[in-house]
Structure 1
Amino acid sequence: MAAEWRQKCDSEWSLGAQGVPMPDSVDWKSVYEKKPFERNLLQNPSPYGVNHTIPPPELHVTGERPPANQPPKLEPDGNFSGWHSSTEVLPYDTGIPPGVVVCHMPQYRWFSLEQRVDLKVEGLWDQLLDEFQPEIVIEDWYEESQLHKSVYLLDVKLLGADGMTVIKKHTCSPEENLECYSHTWKKVSHVFSNYGPGVRFIHFLHRLKNKFMIELFNTKVTDSSITIKASKSSMI
């Protein structure tokens, strides 16, 4: 019966033809049921309830202060289940020219969302990760919100079995063109290949910059993904 499940996996993803090691010690029934090569390994990839095939919602400015008996809204709305969220308040901008009168100062905050993926729990096995080292494809889409020249940061780490040792990492922190407003989704992607043996976890983190000035203005993100390819390129 174990051989039958192994054959199903081979037929489904052409593992043998790709040179993927398929040892007898692997629970092939579990691998087949978890289908690690066909799905996004991140939970809740669109926590704001939007997707990149539809333009981001336009910013709606009310200019209204919250009622006196209610605290101001400082956190974005969304369903963040599956993510660990945190907020970092940034200092006020002190570079205001002398003589300039400022009625309201914007308060910027980084809103971080992160997940850790256990690759073996998701259906991958030691020999695949150590010997074959399949491509690990990262993709993310963030909103060109133009709240600031830097509204998005991506940090992805491939971790060892202890969940702490960093084997490979990728960081991306693009700058926005504040003179050209298009208000679109911007794609960020990276492929990990030939990363070396020992990878067992992936830590995925993106930071989104929000601005509070009388009311909250946030930067959205959507369609975040980690996918594993049953293939291998010559990229280093």
Structure 2
Amino acid sequence: MQQQESERQLMEQQQESERQLQQQQESRRQLMEQESERQLQQQQESKQQLMEQESRRQLQQQQESREQLELREQQLMDRERQLMEQQQESREQWELREQQLMDRERQLMEQQQESREQLELREQQLMDRERQLMEQQQESREQWELREQQLMERERQLMEQQESRWQLERQLQQQERRRQLERQFEQQQESRRQLKRQRLWEQQQESRRQLERQVGLLFFGARPERARLSALPFSPDRPQSAPPSLPAPLELNRLPDELLALILSWVPGRALVTRCRLVCRRWRDLIDGPTVWRLQGERWPRLGAILVAARLCPSPQWSRIGLLEPFGRNLVRNPCGQDQFSHWQVEHGGNGWNVEGNLCPVEGAPAQTCFVSSFQWCVKSQMVDLLEEGLWEELLDNYQPEIYISDWWGARQGAGGVYSICVKLLAANRTTVIAEFQANPDRLEQSNDSQYHQVSYRFRQYGRGVRYVHFLHKGKDILFWRGHYGARITNSTVMVKLN
């Protein structure tokens, strides 16, 4: 019984599932019908919209075509009107042209008539000209005969003048010989005077050397033990013996200060500072004072700057000025490369710097050598310490003496060169630039000229605080040749001058 009941329930369940399945199928069918109807409706709506858009587009195109047709029709009407106007103008132009042609024809006929008259007149003129030429020809024959006579007379005069000129040249040659003899006589006289001056100068030099020897003896006389010891040659194996007899030393300390200063003024400045100043306090005070140096400045022109410094600064360091001589000398060391590259900061380019002999002499240079650059920039610089060279702060800041810089540069024959220079006046920190000079002369092209060219400048009123001079120059060639064919530089100068 239970089995039947379960079978019955199972059948009911199956029926129920079939019924649900039918419902689902029915609902799916309804959904599909609704979806198809919706799609169909959308298609109809889209078709309707497309039709409406197409109709609107066609209407717009028709409207635009009508407007274009109207515009075209208007343009054609305007063109037709223009053509009619142009045709009317062309007719008027043709009539005007025809009138002009008729006037031109009438003018040509008139000109032809005039030309005939002119031809007849020209023919008459030619006949008259022919008659005149015949008359002139007759006259020219007479003139040629007269001219021939004049030329013969002129030739005779020229021969006479030539003869007189020869005589005058002979007289001038005689006068020139006489003047040459007079010049030779003057040269002989001048050579005699020079010989006399040379002998006088040699005598003065000999007297000066004698005086210096006497001053040396006097100096050694102040320290007799040192003089005797320095006079003996040193030998460790030599037996001790009595020193050789020396002349009796003079007692200079008994002389007054004026006479002692006069005697010391004949001693060179370096010997005064390094030797005479160490003798005693009195000599030290005299050498540190102005009297000895003023006497030397008055006697030797190259020391005249010492007197100028004395007028500018009330209390200059006399011994320092006399020993270092900072004025009027070149403060650049090794300016011509005689010591290769010593004292220079060098930057090599290409094949680097080289030192060679000058192709032509440079007047006043300490050596006839030069620095030669290569096919790339070769740079060289030197820092000049003005205080170490003998100057002092008071003079540089208050008076600001003239600082003169100069450089000589050139090129090798057959090659070209480029050169540049930059000189700066620096403060004590070596970085602050107070004044500057820079020059880039035109480059030297290929030529047979090997002469040097000078670049110079004078620093004046440059301001307070100058302590160093930075001197920099550079050079190279323009042909990029391997080797040393660039700019040649020599005799670089930094000089302090007192006016």
Counterparts of 1:14 and 1:215, CA distance in 2: 45
Indicate the SS of the match to 1:156. Answer: strand
Counterparts of 1:161 and 1:214, CA distance in 2: 41
Counterparts of 2:481 and 2:289, CA distance in 1: 58
Indicate the SS of the match to 1:151. Answer: strand
Counterparts of 1:42 and 1:199, CA distance in 2: 17
Unmatched segments (≥5 aa) in structure 2: 1-284, 298-302, 351-373
Counterparts of 1:163 and 1:2, CA distance in 2: 37
Task: Count residues with an aligned counterpart.
Answer: 183
Is 1:21 equivalent to 2:312 in the alignment? yes
Unmatched segments (≥5 aa) in structure 1: 50-77, 90-106, 232-236
Aligned amino acid, residue 82 of structure 1: H
Flag the structure with higher helix content: 2
Aligned amino acid, residue 6 of structure 1: P
Length-normalised TM-score, structure 1: 0.68
**Does the 8 Å contact 1:21/1:127 carry over to 2?**
no
* Partner of residue 35 from structure 1, selected from 325, 337, 352: 325
Residue pairs, 1:48-197, within 5 angstroms = 49=338, 79-88=340-349, 108-145=375-412, 147-148=415-416, 151-178=418-445, 181-197=448-464
Aligned amino acid, residue 494 of structure 2: I
Flag the structure with higher strand content: 1
Is 1:220 equivalent to 2:488 in the alignment? yes
Length-normalised TM-score, structure 2: 0.34
Counterparts of 2:454 and 2:342, CA distance in 1: 23
Counterparts of 1:128 and 1:21, CA distance in 2: 8
Counterparts of 1:27 and 1:18, CA distance in 2: 10
CA shift in 2, pair 1:116/1:20, >3 Å: farther
Residue 44 of structure 1, CA deviation: 0.4
Aligned amino acid, residue 28 of structure 1: W
Which structure exhibits the higher relative contact order, with contacts defined as CA atoms closer than 8 Å and separated by 6 or more residues?
A: 1
**Does the 8 Å contact 2:424/2:435 carry over to 1?**
yes
Moved more, 178-187 or 122-131: 178-187
Residue 182 of structure 1, CA deviation: 2.0
**Does the 8 Å contact 1:2/1:29 carry over to 2?**
no
Indicate the SS of the match to 1:162. Answer: coil
State the partner residue of 2:369. none
Q: Report the RMSD for the aligned CA atoms in angstroms.
A: 2.6
CA shift in 2, pair 1:113/1:137, >3 Å: same
Counterparts of 2:331 and 2:375, CA distance in 1: 31
CA shift in 2, pair 1:6/1:18, >3 Å: closer
Which of 1 and 2 has greater Rg?
A: 2
**Does the 8 Å contact 1:2/1:28 carry over to 2?**
no
Residue 2 of structure 1, CA deviation: 6.3
